């Protein structure tokens, strides 16, 4: 079965550079979530989209932005990268947002800022 | 606001013995609760979920959890641990259907 696809799997950037992470949800899923997981930390919710509109916002820095496109894939744009942005970034998708809707997670993009 | 507290950051059990990972939740609404597992350098996999149906929820790999409203708990159990169960376990709450709020995680170590 198709799963959530994230690209790239690994990314190395220098401070102050820009990075773009991509997420391709499971077919027919209309909701995408982004999470940031620092080393030894629990995943922190960044932002979510439902039907191409932002549905919820968490602890996403102002330097980051995201959007969901007409084909439901999503991109997380990160500018002015800092060392502290080094983390595993997960994308998840779900089919709707009803009570108990399960979110399926991708393998993550490991971003290293040097 | 909804949140979860995982009461143990590390749990160590011997192979073949029971597993208990504790989670308490706080939610203004009737919550949906999940347990996810994360193996090293892997993504997050759903073990089980509670959505106000049966209070005893059975998941994959022999895990189950019981929702106790009076105790605001959703503890994860397994009768007999396997070496392959060693991983990080996250208790997760969702009230709005949008953001999932993760607990700090419990690292399960299984010794031979």
**d(C-alpha B69, C-alpha B92), whole Å:** 16
DSSP conformation letters of chain B:
--EEEES-SEEEEETTS-EEE-EEEE-SS--EEEEEEE-TT--EEEEEEE-SS-SEEE-GGG-EEEEEGGGTEEEEEESS--GGG-EEEEEEEESSSSPPEE---EEEEEE-
B65-109 pLDDT per residue, tens: 999 989 999 999 999 999 999 999 999 988 665 678 899 999 999
- pLDDT: which is higher, A100 or A31: A31
Q: Which residues of A touch B36 (CB under 8 A)?
A: 105
State yes or no: pLDDT of A96 exceeds 90: no
Mutate to test the interface with B, among A51, A100, A110 (most CBs of B within 10 A): A100
**pLDDT at residue A99, as a whole number:** 61
CB of A52 within 8 Å of a chain B CB? The answer is no
A61-95 pLDDT per residue, tens: 999 999 999 999 999 999 999 999 999 999 999 98
Q: Which residues of B touch A (CB under 8 A)?
A: 30, 32, 34, 36, 42-46, 49-52, 90, 94, 96-105
**pLDDT at residue A98, as a whole number:** 67
């Amino acid at each position: 079965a198709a799963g959530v696809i994230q690209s790239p799997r690994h990314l190395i950037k220098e401070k102050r550079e820009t990075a773009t992470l991509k997420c391709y949800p499971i077919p027919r899923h209309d909701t995408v979530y982004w999470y940031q997981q620092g080393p030894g930390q629990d995943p922190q919710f960044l932002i979510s989209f439902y039907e191409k509109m932002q549905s919820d916002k968490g602890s996403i820095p102002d330097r980051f932005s995201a959007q969901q496109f007409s084909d439901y894939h999503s991109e997380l744009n990160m500018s002015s990268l800092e060392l502290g942005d080094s983390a595993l970034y997960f994308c998840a998708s779900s089919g709707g947002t009803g009570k108990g809707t399960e979110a399926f997670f991708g393998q993550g993009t490991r971003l290293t800022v040097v | 606001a909804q949140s979860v507290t995982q009461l143990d950051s590390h749990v160590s059990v011997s192979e073949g013995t029971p597993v208990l990972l504790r989670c308490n939740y706080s939610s203004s609404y009737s919550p949906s609760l999940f347990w996810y597992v994360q193996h090293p350098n892997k993504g997050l996999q759903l073990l089980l979920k509670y959505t106000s149906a049966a209070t005893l929820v059975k998941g994959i790999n022999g895990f189950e959890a019981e929702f106790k409203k009076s105790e605001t708990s959703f503890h994860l159990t397994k009768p007999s641990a396997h070496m392959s169960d060693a991983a990080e376990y996250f208790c997760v709450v969702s009230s709005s259907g949008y953001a999932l709020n993760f607990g700090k995680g419990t690292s399960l170590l299984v010794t031979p």
